[in-house]
Amino acid sequence: MTSIYARIPYGEPQQIGNTLKYNYLKYYISESINPEFWNPNTSRAKNTAKFKEFPEFNQRLDNVESMINAVLLNFKQEEIIPYKSELKTELDKLIKPNKVVSVPDKTDYSKMGLVEFAEHLIKTLPFKRNTIKSYNTLKGNLESYEKKYKTKLTFKNTDIDFYNSFVKYLTGLGLGQNTIGTRIKIIKTILNNANDRGLNVSTDYQKKSFSKPSEETENVYLNETELTAIYNLNTLPTYLENVRDMFLIGCYTGLRYSDLIRLTKDNITSDNIIKIKTEKTEKTVDIPIHTHVKQIFEKYGYQLPKPISNQKYNDYIKLVVEHAGIKEPITKQYRKNGMLANLTEPKYNLVTSHTARRSFATNAFLADVPTLSIMIITGHKTESSFMKYIKMSATDNARKLKTHKFFNPLTIAK
């Protein structure tokens, strides 16, 4: 008899060439079979008189497969990229419940300082890798702060005085307001977590004055004239042409790059609507297919170019936009050591994969597409958040207003 196992992908995939490579968990289930009765093509028992119980056996395998898919779907819905141990633990809970032993939490949180508690959360909570990275960065900042000011941060002394001091400290490191805001947001989450555990936490973190700093960033979009210039480029090498075409699809659909690379002919309905369940929100969106998008699909025979890493994509799209002659200088204002500073760069250098989505929203708004209709596609829940998201120049705004009745009142001829 041979044991049966499932080969399950986990963790963050690595980009190798044009393919994504996953790590795999070899998960043994509580079933075994004589290799003579096993069909490797179907991964099920053979339909043979020598193994009369094959229907019930295969049904048990179907049940196990359904449970594995349920665990993977739950991680996906929670936007958690599991580690090997996390995946195995969740599988055991569902598939081998009798083997799972619940161990009561005997951790003495009261003896932990803020840094130690943050480290505990990093080790025990099912964070995604990027979240772990952010927590570790904050932990490093807190440790440096303690060392500089010769203090020990506790749940009780992380009050409004600490907040003001820590923001000043991070500002002195040259960090921008939005970066500092991210650090404060994590601290508030940590303190809230400690409070939920019944620890004696200063409640200052709940006050409005303990809010995360922020500042508006200079995010660019490409207007219709610029998109036309990109669309008409005809001397690009193949690798840039592929990126250009995928970028344009994003500009006319508002889809994120993670959704663009999953588009196939099956996503296009008979009445020329793109229908796709987005990866981030798990919600299905319906988007009218733009003429340029239809032409790009037809160009590739409805098999779009193979995906590349987001980093390469961002590098290549800058080259594409530069080829299109979009070199307008853009001045960004930011804070350095608490002081306002300016940085001027050519526009093409500020374009990323997300610029496509922002361009879609802004151009649709300028074209008088109803705001609610755009929000249904982009997924914005409030009009205020949507209005912060779109970007338009003063010139674009003036052109839009030119046709408004306020600037073109009807008069009676005298």
Helix axes 224-231, 353-366, angle to 10 degrees: 130
Give the pLDDT confidence score for residue 297 in this predicted structure.
95
Q: Average the pLDDT over 198-218 and give the result.
A: 86
Question: Is the confidence at residue 222, as pLDDT, over 70?
Answer: yes
What would the two tokens of residue 227 be?
């998109």
Given this model, what pLDDT does residue 216 score? 63
CATH 1.10.443.10 residue ranges in the chain?
224-402
For the domain spanning 224-402, the CATH number is: 1.10.443.10
- Dist CA 246 CA 289 (whole Å): 14
Residue 225, burial from CB neighbour count under 10 angstroms (0-12, 13-18, 19+): exposed
pLDDT one-digit tens code per residue, 123-175: 888 776 678 889 999 999 999 999 999 999 999 999 999 999 999 999 888 88
pLDDT tens-digit profile of 346-356? Answer: 999 999 999 99
Q: Tell me the pLDDT of the chain averaged across its residues.
A: 87
Report, at the CATH architecture level, how domain 109-210 is classified. Orthogonal Bundle (1.10)
pLDDT in tens, 386-407: 887 787 767 777 777 777 777 7
CATH 1.10.150.130 residue ranges for the chain: 109-210
Ramachandran assignment for 6, one of left (phi > 0), alpha (psi -120 to 50 degrees), beta (any other): beta
Single pTM value for the model: 0.57
Residues of the chain with pLDDT > 70, as a percent, come to: 89
Taking only the tens place, the pLDDT of each residue in 47-94 is: 888 888 989 999 999 989 988 988 888 777 665 677 787 788 888 888
Distance from C-alpha of 123 to C-alpha of 107, rounded to nearest angstrom: 13
Is 205's pLDDT higher than 90? Answer: yes
* Residue-level pLDDT at 218: 58
Judged against a pLDDT cut of 70, whether residue 103 lies above it is answered with: no
pLDDT on residue 95:
86
